[in-house]
Structure 1
Amino acid sequence: MATQKHSVSGWTAFAAVLMIFGGLMAFLEGISAIAQDRLFVTTRNYVFSFSLTGWGWIHLILGIVIFLAGVALLATGAMWARVIGIILAGLGAMANFLWIPHYPFWAIVLVAIDIFIMWALCRDDHHHSAAAR
């Protein structure tokens, strides 16, 4: 029985690298929020008013999971890793969208990265699908 080796195509590899980067940035964002850095803005009457520490834990855990999923996607290129990557990038985009009042520039950049990750993973890689036939 021959083992089938997965190859990671261009857009999938790029999305995996962005997931690793985005996961690392969310992790650092979480650590910074848990440490209660003074660079975050506190807003009044914000609908999603978790404490800064609560947001920090959300970003820390989500960052670790996105980072690990990016590594798995880069290593395997499997369909399950792409689906998990799309789901996690969506959760990351949502978390960073809700984080905009605390650190607008960083949050908007990470939302854009997460949207690009979802686009790249949903894109049909003709080279990859042709090799599988």
Structure 2
Amino acid sequence: MTASRIPNTTGWLSFAGIVAIVVGVFNVIDGLVALFRTDYYLVTAQDILVFDFTAWGWIWLLLGLTQIAIGAGIFAGRTWARAAGLAMAVVVAIGQLAFLRAFPVWSVIVIALCVLVVYALTAHPHAEP
């Protein structure tokens, strides 16, 4: 066991890795929809915060691909992935708050999954060092 690997004795890290991958896939889907089917959303591009659908599409696509890679790292027990996963879950949850008007149900589901990732990465059961 090396210093860059965290032993997964309780399953919380596996859970966090799987949920992070699922959130990443959801963000990739969200990005592709924003790029190719802007009429799918509930509001027009002028009604969402900060950017238009093309910019949000690229943002969600890149964040989603990054989150999938981080989720795989968490699942493998990498220390860097645990810290990056925590930061990425917070960034994605804040981004979904800004994108909330476009598709509220999807955003609330992704925010809830991000909260699960944060909890799973910060939970310290007795069996885990």
Same fold per superposition (TM over 0.5): yes
**Sequence identity of aligned pairs in percent?**
26
Conservation of the 8 A alpha-carbon contact between 2:48 and 2:102: no
Q: Report SS of the residue matched to 1:124.
A: coil
Q: TM-score, normalised by structure 1?
A: 0.85
Supply the distance in 2 between the matched residues of 1:74 and 1:18 (Cα, whole angstroms).
10
Give the number of the structure whose alpha-carbon radius of gyration is greater. Answer: 1
Is this contact kept in 2: 1:36–1:53, CA < 8 A?
Answer: no
1:19 aligns with 2:15: no
Q: Give unmatched runs, 5+ long, in structure 1.
A: none
Which consecutive unaligned segments of at least 5 residues does structure 2 have? none
Q: Deviations over 1:54-105 (max 9, x none)?
A: 1111110000001100001101x13322111100001111111111100000
Aligned residue in 1 for 2:52: 51
> Partner of 1:70 in structure 2?
71
Alpha-carbon distance in 1 for matches of 2:45, 2:67: 30
TM-superposed deviation, 1:116: 1.1
For normalisation by structure 2, the TM-score amounts to 0.88
Aligned pairs, how many?
126
For the aligned residue pairs, the C-alpha RMSD in angstroms reads: 1.9
